[in-house]
Chains A and B, each alone.
Chain A
């Protein structure tokens, strides 16, 4: 089975622009979560989608948004980019609804640099 794929792997943007990142989960997985990793704040949960619905949202401003399609693929969007949005964005998929009973499989991440 193919793993979680994320595109693009690297991205350079300038302040004020917007960006869209894509995540394709493992086939059959319906839950997709997004995390931001920075040296200062570490790994932080952004949001989680299950069956095209956002189920959980982390403490991030409204500039961060996402969606999930019927094939479980997910996209996240960041508008009006700020320098502090430079980070590794990780996507994770899991088979069933709750993390108590299953692991999350992470993709390789998208490295976003905001200049």
Chain B
């Protein structure tokens, strides 16, 4: 079963616009990670935010984490056609190893 639910399931925007994706999860976590996947290929790690962090930035990416609401958001600013991909949040439930539980993903399409 999936730990996280992502919203929206699909998002279509124009190049230059911002894209916001949300992730909600059910149980306490150690950290939350965001990944990108291009058309059924491997996953690319974007950013990791720990449970004691509230916000993190990496280039055009901004991630927030609200542990009281068990939710996170990924903001991509000034989107480009190359950002077209599926985006997944993943949670680490324990410290016993590398075991991630993924959300259902958001399919982002950026139109040129």
Could you list which residues of chain A lie within 8 angstroms of chain B, going by C-beta atoms? 4, 31, 33, 35, 42-45, 48, 50, 55-56, 58, 88, 90, 92, 94, 97-100, 103-109, 111
Given contacts A42-B105, A100-B92, whether A106 and B42 have CB atoms under 8 Å apart is yes
5 closest pairs, A vs B, by CB?
Answer: A43-B102, A106-B43, A103-B45, A106-B42, A55-B97
How many A-B residue pairs lie within 8 Å, measured between CB atoms? Answer: 77
Q: Interface residues of B, CB < 8 Å — how many?
A: 27
CB of B2 within 8 Å of the partner chain: yes
Could you list which residues of chain B lie within 8 angstroms of chain A, going by C-beta atoms? 2, 30-31, 33, 35, 40-45, 48, 50, 88, 90, 92, 95-105
B44 and chain A: residue at smallest CB distance? A106
Q: How far is the CB of A72 from chain B (nearest CB, A)?
A: 13
Complex partner residue of B104 from A42, A98, A104, CB under 8 angstroms: A42
Taking CB atoms, residues of chain A closer than 8 Å to B98 are: 31, 33, 48, 50, 56, 92, 94, 97-99, 104
